Amino acid sequence: MSVIVFVEIDNQQYKKSSLEAICYGKKIAQTMGISCIALSLDTLSDTATLGTYGADRVISLSHNAAFTSDNSAQLLADACKQLSAQIVVVSNTYTGKSLAPRLAVALDASLATNVISLPDTNGGFKVKRGVFSGKAFAYTDLSKNTKVLAITPNTFDIDNSGSSATVETLVVSAEASKISIDKSDKEMGKVPLTEAEIVVSAGRGLKGPENWNLIEELADLMGAATACSKPVSDMGWRPHAEHVGQTGITIKPNLYVAIGISGAIQHLAGVSSSKTIVAINKDPEAPFFKAADYGIVGDAFEIIPQLIHALKN
Amino acid sequence: MKVLVCMSVVPDTTTKITFTENNTHFNKDGVQFIINPYDELAITRGLELAEANSGSVTVVHVGPAENEASIRKALSMGVTDAIRIDALAIDAQFVAEQIAEIAHGYDLILTGRESIDYNGGAVCGLLGALLNIPSANVVTEINYADGTFSFTRDIDGGREMLSCKGPVVASAQKDLCEPRIPNMRGIMAARTKPLQVLPPKDLINASQVSSYESPAPKSGVKLIDPSNAQELIHILRNELKVI
Ligand SMILES: Cc1cc2nc3c(=O)[nH]c(=O)nc-3n(C[C@H](O)[C@H](O)[C@H](O)COP(=O)(O)OP(=O)(O)OC[C@H]3O[C@@H](n4cnc5c(N)ncnc54)[C@H](O)[C@@H]3O)c2cc1C
């Protein structure tokens, strides 16, 4: 029996969200007295470092398949079966979320996405999930023997325990994929919004797309990803991938800075789980101030330059 | 081209989410229900593709009779016919397994990227696996030519172009299209369009919500003097140590 953690690689590095997943998997494995195995479809030269985060075994899959959602899931399912997986942990990223459902079917497992707690295994298997786009949480009992959990990035700590792992290769196979990837465009080295630790976000208060150089400069200086409110992406000021809120992306960074965003209930839904929230708005009655930890009542065009100046010093 | 769109019915986005019976049930009191916003996009793009390829669009909904008003709304957008599987949607796996029973014979199956109530984002992939067909998650473009579907989808940090023959299942993301607004003729026609009600398949639950919790309220905002905005950077750097 084992806990299997699916590890993602980006830009020749293990993703931070995947290290969180290993630490998470290790804790479950310890509670259940079984081993924690890290699996990846790709191999890096420093595979062994995954052991320092808690993996007992690191296994790279040897296969000759393309990485489409259908056959990646088959490859992983094959590995999970060979390794008697009881729990499978993936990150709640686009990659993780496209694999998790297919894995759940292949393994006849219970599936939970948006997981934000370790399981409570006292007399069952209960996890806490984010629901209603951040407006609530649901404690969910998973009843099948095998479980697939997609855990929310930025939720669990990474501990480097310094332990070590065995490194192995496992031969797996999948049917030929029925779908082909014709082209992939990735902005290298850019942290996806869902995984960012700091997010600087702006709304209609910025007046127009030409003013986003201020937001980008501020974000760069803070090491932040950028986001926006719905009308801003509806008007095409910013790409849809930056739209956060109930009908956009739900995020959970350590720091969310909202500038010129009113704080409508649909917007707050997607960002209220952020650990620290800063609101900057010229309207003292803006609802965002009720949801924020820190606030500045003032004109964005006067405040942002001050912040940029302070960050440069 | 035969298109099937899986539709969920969710609380209106302005709803304040509360619970009853000792936090074990979602409080539906006074809540207005709408078609899941992503599913409106799926319906609209499904209609556009079917219209261009002399096809039809069927919507399927797993839910109780009280959700039929939303199904009629989908029909008024131009959908050909509807199926309601008469059961409470327990979780994404339950919904996908029910839909898989009726999903054969379609060229394109569409879902929303996620349902904005339970945010599972899983029905697309589950259906793909259950029907053993490819799935494309979070798509912002769907085109069809010479028997091949092509998709653009969001991936972590970028986008990807995919193509395949049908049948295929894809989940709709913002940017796919502008949701179609029903017109008077559509609303009149929807009244008499076929809406078939089917009993659910017997299934063992894969999951069950035991209780809900609301987020802890914020303790109150600390205001910083706008003429001394650098104070914010000082706090973030030295007190909270987040930057
Ligand atoms: C079905 C549905 C789904 C929705 N989903 C989402 C969602 O997912 N995400 C989302 O964001 N919204 C969503 N909305 C929209 C939401 O209701 C709000 O309309 C939206 O969030 C407002 O965006 P905003 O704050 O950028 O703009 P506004 O409401 O116009 O607010 C702009 C703010 O900027 C301030 N401001 C103006 N000038 C300045 C300045 N110079 N300096 C500082 N502050 C300034 C103003 O005081 C105001 O508070 C949804 C709505 C519906 C109906």
DSSP string for residues in A220-270: HHHT-EEEE-HHHHHTTSS-GGGBBSTTSB----SEEEEES----HHHHHH
- Looking at every residue in chain A, the average pLDDT score rounds to 95
Task: Give the nearest chain A residue to B176 (CA atoms).
Answer: A240
Could you tell me if the CB of A227 is within 6 A of ligand 1? no
pLDDT for residue A294: 98
Tell me if chain A has a CB within 8 Å of the CB of B130. Answer: yes
Closest CA to B42 of B15, B7, B73, B17: B7
pLDDT for residue A70: 81
3-state helix, strand, coil in chain A (%, to 5): 35, 30, 35
Tell me if chain A has a CB within 8 Å of the CB of B163. Answer: yes
Q: Does the distance separating the beta carbons of B126 and A102 come in below 8 Å?
A: yes
Amino acid identity at B194? P
Ligand 1 nearest-atom number relative to CA A283: 47
Is 80 exceeded by the pLDDT of residue A1?
yes
| Residue from B156, B177, B234, B237 whose CB has the most chain A CBs within 10 Å, to mutate | B156
**A177-192 tens-digit pLDDT:** 999 999 999 887 678 8
Q: Does the distance separating the beta carbons of A10 and B156 come in below 8 Å?
A: yes
Q: What is the rounded average pLDDT of the residues A20-35?
A: 97
Is 80 exceeded by the pLDDT of residue A122?
yes
Tell me if chain A has a CB within 8 Å of the CB of B207. Answer: yes
Q: Does the distance separating the beta carbons of A133 and B162 come in below 8 Å?
A: no
* Domain chopping of chain A, boundaries: 2-172, 198-312
**Distance between CA atoms of residues A35 and A29, nearest Å:** 6
A287 touches A266 (CB < 8 A)? no
pLDDT for residue A111: 98
For CA atoms A284, A289, A295, A299, give the dihedral sign.
Answer: negative
ipTM of the complex model: 0.96
Task: Give the nearest chain A residue to B178 (CA atoms).
Answer: A234
Could you tell me if the CB of A295 is within 6 A of ligand 1? no
pLDDT for residue A67: 72
Q: What are phi and psi of A281, to 5 degrees?
A: -155, 140
Q: What is the rounded average pLDDT of the residues A182-207?
A: 91
Q: In Å, how far is B149's CA from the nearest CA of chain A?
A: 10
Q: In Å, how far is A204's CA from the nearest CA of chain B?
A: 19
Closest CA to A239 of A222, A218, A221, A216: A216
Which residue, judged by its Cα, is nearest atom 14 of ligand 1? A266
pLDDT for residue A189: 67
Could you tell me if the CB of A146 is within 6 A of ligand 1? no
Which residue, judged by its Cα, is nearest atom 31 of ligand 1? A262
**Distance between CA atoms of residues B49 and B34, nearest Å:** 24
Q: What is the pLDDT tens value at each position of chain B, 243 positions in all?
A: 999 999 999 999 999 999 999 999 999 999 999 999 999 999 999 999 999 999 999 999 999 999 999 999 999 999 999 999 999 999 999 999 999 999 999 999 999 999 999 999 999 999 999 999 999 999 999 999 999 999 999 999 899 999 999 999 999 999 999 999 999 999 999 999 999 999 999 999 999 999 999 999 889 999 999 999 999 999 999 999 999
Residue with tokens 């293990």: A14
Question: In the beta sheet, which residues pair with residue A184?
Answer: B160
Q: Which residues in chain B have Cβ-Cβ distances shorter than 8 Å to A273?
A: 215
Q: What are phi and psi of A216, to 5 degrees?
A: -65, -40
How far, in Å, from the CA of A32 to the mean position of ligand 1? Answer: 46
Residue from the list A143, A292, A303 with its beta carbon closest to the beta carbon of B208: A143
Beta strands B222-223 and A57-62 are unpaired
Alpha helices in B79-229 (DSSP H): 92-100, 123-131, 184-190
At residue B56's C-alpha, the angle toward residues B52 and B61, to 5°, is 130
Which residue, judged by its Cα, is nearest atom 6 of ligand 1? A266
Could you tell me if the CB of A97 is within 6 A of ligand 1? no
Burial of A134 (0-12, 13-18, 19+ CB in 10 A): buried
**A36-57 tens-digit pLDDT:** 999 988 878 888 889 999 999 9
How far, in Å, from the CA of A261 to the mean position of ligand 1? Answer: 5
- CATH class of the domain defined by A198-312: alpha beta
Could you tell me if the CB of A245 is within 6 A of ligand 1? yes
Task: Give the nearest chain A residue to B93 (CA atoms).
Answer: A111
**Distance between CA atoms of residues B162 and B158, nearest Å:** 13
Q: Report the 3 state secondary structure along B131-175.
A: HCCCEEEEEEEEEEECCEEEEEEEECCEEEEEEECCCEEEEECCC
Could you tell me if the CB of A287 is within 6 A of ligand 1? no
**Distance between CA atoms of residues B87 and B205, nearest Å:** 13
Q: Which residues in chain A have Cβ-Cβ distances shorter than 8 Å to B35?
A: none
Alpha helices in chain A (DSSP H): 16-32, 49-52, 69-82, 94-106, 212-222, 230-234, 265-271, 288-291, 300-312
- CATH class of the domain defined by B2-217: alpha beta
How far, in Å, from the CA of A262 to the mean position of ligand 1? Answer: 5
| Tokens at B217, concatenated | 């309220």
Tell which CATH architecture fits domain A2-172. 3-Layer(aba) Sandwich (3.40)
pLDDT for residue A310: 97
Question: In the beta sheet, which residues pair with residue A110?
Answer: A147
Is 90 exceeded by the pLDDT of residue A252?
yes
Long-range contacts of A37-43 (CB under 8 A, 24+ apart): A37/A2, A37/A3, A37/A4, A37/A5, A37/A83, A38/A5, A38/A7, A38/A165, A39/A4, A39/A5, A39/A6, A39/A7, A39/A76, A39/A79, A40/A6, A40/A7, A40/A8, A40/A9, A41/A67, A41/A72, A41/A75, A41/A76, A42/A9
Tell me if chain A has a CB within 8 Å of the CB of B65. Answer: no
Q: Which residues in chain A have Cβ-Cβ distances shorter than 8 Å to B240?
A: 255, 276
| Tokens at A231, concatenated | 């009308």
**Distance between CA atoms of residues A20 and A162, nearest Å:** 15
Residue with tokens 């473009």: B141
Is 90 exceeded by the pLDDT of residue A161?
no
How far, in Å, from the CA of A235 to the mean position of ligand 1? Answer: 12
* Domain chopping of chain B, boundaries: 2-217
B48 sits in which H/E element: helix B37-52
pLDDT for residue A191: 80
**Distance between CA atoms of residues A166 and A104, nearest Å:** 27
Q: Where are the beta strands (DSSP E) in chain B?
A: 2-6, 9-11, 19-20, 25-26, 33-35, 56-62, 81-85, 108-112, 135-145, 148-155, 158-164, 168-172, 195-198, 207-213, 222-223
Q: Does the distance separating the beta carbons of A181 and B160 come in below 8 Å?
A: yes
